[in-house]
Amino acid sequence: MNIASIRERKGSGQKITMLTCYDYSFAKILDHVGIDMLLVGDSLGMVLLGYDSTVPVTLEDIIHHAKAVRRGTKDALVVGDMPFMTYQVSPQEAIRNAGRLMKEGGCDAVKLEGGTNAFNTISSLVKAGVPVVGHIGLTPQTASSLGGYKVQGKDLDSANRIVEDAMAVEEAGAFALVLECIPAPLASFITDHISIPTIGIGAGPGCDGQVLVTHDLLGMFEGFTPSFVKRYANLLPLIKDALRSFINEVSDGTFPDKGHSFHLDEEIVKNLKWGK
């Protein structure tokens, strides 16, 4: 996948699939099954690092995980999230930090949150040669100013503000746009009018693609899971069962058995010496 092939999906009838990915093992699996875009999302702050928001995540955190994802990816497009305060201070700082995500982290593109307020930043990045994915609606880095993790754009004024955000991101030159936690008809309206692909998360079926947090989709995360997440598997009980079996078998001596041990000729065993 590349930027052009993502853009070409718009109106082609073929939906874009995007999932979060934070490490080499998952990158290999997601890439192998044909996920189009892997997002090294700042959700790793909650899912991997145990923070209660994405705010503490650093550029170094994303670079560290992006490097591993890059090593495990052959076909998918790798997108690195720009953490809180790595792109807000000035367009120059945003360019420097996005450059590090691409040069050190191996990302093909970056994602950042914001609409009209991010217009200058996105257009400066695009002019500097950085492919950008926008992110509007519920923007987790500033969720507290939006009244928490809530559906956005439910009344006419706020819905129209989200439409203006979408127009700004498109005009600034982003090649795709994440729409998070907005009513499905609003996401469909934006998708029908905008020239770049929309990728929804909690934004209904009308978007050009869908993104989810992989650990939510697989049922591997015990923290809060939003109602728009569909669990395609419930791996946590399976993982816990396997771990309890390991504890039990080590305790009662049934692991390791002969099949999981290396053998030594009886003669050698008999002649082993302890000391001189």
- Enzyme catalytic residues: 180
Which region, judged by CB under 6 A, interacts with ligand KIV, from 38-46, 85-93, 120-128, 248-256?
A: 38-46
Answer for which of 30, 36, 43, 187 binds ligand KIV (CB under 6 A) is: 43
The least CB distance from residue 186 to ligand KIV, in Å, is 17
The token pair that represents 218 in the structure block: 């697989």
Near ligand KIV by CB under 6 A: residue from 42, 165, 170, 208: 42
Asked if residue 214 binds ligand KIV (CB under 6 A), the reply is: no
178 part of the interface to ligand KIV, by CB under 6 A: yes
Which has the closest alpha carbon to 78: 124, 133, 121?
A: 133
Looking at residue 257, its amino acid is: D
Closest by CA position to 137, among listed 159, 118, 122, 155: 159
Q: Are strands 209-212 and 132-137 parallel, antiparallel or unpaired?
A: unpaired
Binding mask 183-202 for ligand KIV (x = CB under 6 A): ------------------x-
Q: How far is the CB of 211 from ligand KIV (least distance, A)?
A: 5
Distance of closest approach, residue 231 Cβ to ligand KIV, in angstroms: 16
Residue 57 vs 130, nearer CB to ligand KIV: 57
Q: Which is nearer to ligand KIV, 81 or 170 (CB)?
A: 81
Instruction: Compute the least distance from the CB of residue 20 to ligand KIV, in Å.
Output: 4
Q: Which amino acid is at 268?
A: I
Q: Among the residues of the chain, which ranges form H helices? A: 3-8, 24-33, 44-47, 59-72, 91-103, 119-127, 156-172, 184-193, 214-217, 235-252, 266-270
Cβ within 8 Å of residue 84, ≥6 positions away = 42, 54, 55, 57, 141
- Other CB atoms within 10 Å distance of the CB of residue 60: 12
Stretch in the footprint of ligand KIV (CB under 6 A) among 35-43, 59-67, 83-91, 249-257: 35-43
* Contact track, ligand KIV, 62-81, x by CB under 6 A: -------------------x
103/252 Cα distance (integer angstroms): 51
> Pick from 1, 6, 9, 20: which binds ligand KIV (CB under 6 A)?
20
Closest by CA to 94, choosing from 105, 83, 103, 104, is 83
Kindly tell me which of 78 and 213 has the beta carbon lying closer to ligand KIV.
Answer: 213
How many other β-carbons are positioned within 10 Å of the β-carbon of residue 169?
A: 29
Cα gap 16→117, rounded to integer Å: 27
Return the number of the residue (61 or 81) whose C-beta is nearest ligand KIV. 81
Please report how close the Cβ of residue 257 comes to ligand KIV at its closest, in angstroms.
42
Q: Residues 30, 41, 197, 215: which binds ligand KIV (CB under 6 A)?
A: 41
How many angstroms separate the CA atoms of 204 and 15, rounded? 13
Give residues in contact with ligand KIV (CB under 6 A): 20, 39, 41-43, 81, 178, 180, 201, 211, 213
